[in-house]
Amino acid sequence: MSEKLNQLKAILGEVSDVGHAAAVLGWDQQVNIPPAGSEARGQQLGTLGKIAQEKFIADEVGGLLEDLKKEFDGADPASDEAALIRVASRNYAKAKRVPPSFVVEQALVASKSFEAWVEARSKSDFSIFQPHLEKVLELVHKYISFHPKAEHPYDTLLDDFEPGMKTADVKAIFDELRPQQVELIKAIAASKPVKDDFLYKKFNEKKVWDFSETIVAKFGYDFNRGRQDKAPHPFQTSFSVNDVRITNRFESDNPLATLFSAMHESGHAMYEQGINPDYERTPLEGGASLAIHESQSRMWENLVGRSLPFWEYFYPQLKKTFPSQLGNVNLKSFYKGINKVEPSLIRVNADEATYNLHIMLRLELEIAMVEGKVKIKDLPEIWNAKMKEYLGIVPPNNAKGVLQDIHWSGGAIGYFSTYALGNLVSAQLWERINKDIQGLDDQIRKGNFSELLGWLRQNIHQHGQKFEPQTLMQNVTGSKITPAPYVRYLKKKYSEIYGL
């Protein structure tokens, strides 16, 4: 191997180590930390972020990258070496524009903002969070200013989560998708309603939690390289390919949501556990993009976890675990219940037909925030108005409205559209998978997920960040991201459930 490539990998490995150490502190902040520890934790995260930033943007790294571009000029662009140089160069160019002092400031603000969000959400009081979100948005604008002027300022943010994607691209996809989803929702609303009252009975928390772990272990989530803990908002985090963790929560008013959250987060985690180990401690570790990442979580949660074959296997076990709640509920009724379409307040619990409308709402608000067209103090009122417009319902309080998501507290503005894009990618991949794996439904019906996970490992997981998302989709499915497969999936599924 090239001597200079070895030198570069040594430095990048140290940068990765510092980043993973910060990730451990971030995980602990959401799982274990006492409220009073927030400020110190922010300082610790800021220091680690500064060290990683300074180490990565050092002139030595820039020089090595320039030399390696010349050394590997003409190399196969799909080779690991060429991909590493390409991705590292891209990340270096972006990071070089951001002063290390800003990284520290952002970490401190995000840490305080997270604690304020937790308190505001628990008290349903937006005023507690408002000044922190104002500071977060101020830093977002500052971050945008460090980068070359884009077609739209939101492009700079979106590119961090979905490389190569533009705001105009997302809007075009959503504009094509929205009317088709609205039409489907109207058709469902005009049909005979589905009963799901049995889902909201009292369920034992520990039994639900244990059942969730049974499911994801069966999927292939490796508990020898992971664990599930409680947090205010479910998430997945990775410290190495051998330490990939998920968190979850239990909602007494929606107890079985824990099962689907576990499926969702395990989808993310199995992606991380399946990345080529050779990419550890390099910029190729991690997922190709958040949309590709989200496709994995939504696939396991919905295309697998809300399918009839899945529950043909798992429902007898669930019924045996909760006989008093589900004893009189047959499989078909349960299946329809967990797939009931009904406008709802909480995004993470939304059904597949309405979920993307939650994302479109957030995207519109984020773009308006970045453009300076809305004031933070007016967000609750605007949120409620858009919920009424999009879903026909109004949150009874801010905890179930504008305060429900964690993302803005950490400055993750530019993120939300990837959730909807992930839905599209999941269905697009699913069509390819069903062509490649004969009798997949029968395998799922028997609780056998190994061939499905193997396909994902081979075609998606192992590649890490080697390919940009659109390139990866083109390679695997023959097309860039398109809404058509997702619309086909929704129409087929809900036509059967609702007799459309």
Active site residues: 265
Residue 217 φ/ψ, nearest 5 degrees: -65, -40
The backbone torsions φ and ψ at residue 247, rounded to the nearest 5 degrees and listed phi first, read -125, 165
CA distance 265 to 472: 22
**Which residues, 6+ apart, have CB-to-CB distance to 195 below 8 Å?**
333, 336, 337
Q: From CA 339, how far away is CA 220, in angstroms rounded?
A: 24
Q: Do 150 and 426 contact (CB within 8 A), yes or no?
A: no
In three-state secondary structure terms, 246 is: strand
Beta-strand ranges (E) seen in 148-260 are 228-230, 236-240, 243-248
Answer for the pair 144, 153: CB distance below 8 angstroms, yes or no.
yes
Q: Where are the beta strands (DSSP E) in 111-242?
A: 228-230, 236-240
Q: What are phi and psi of 228, to 5 degrees?
A: -125, 125
Query: H helices within 300-416, ranges in order?
Result: 308-321, 323-326, 331-338, 352-371, 379-391
Question: For residues 336 and 194, what is the distance between their CA atoms, to the nearest angstrom?
Answer: 7
Helix/strand/coil for 174: helix
* 420-457 core/surface letters (b: 16 or more CB in 10 A; e: else): bbbbbbbbbbbebbeeeeeebeebbbeeebebbbebbb
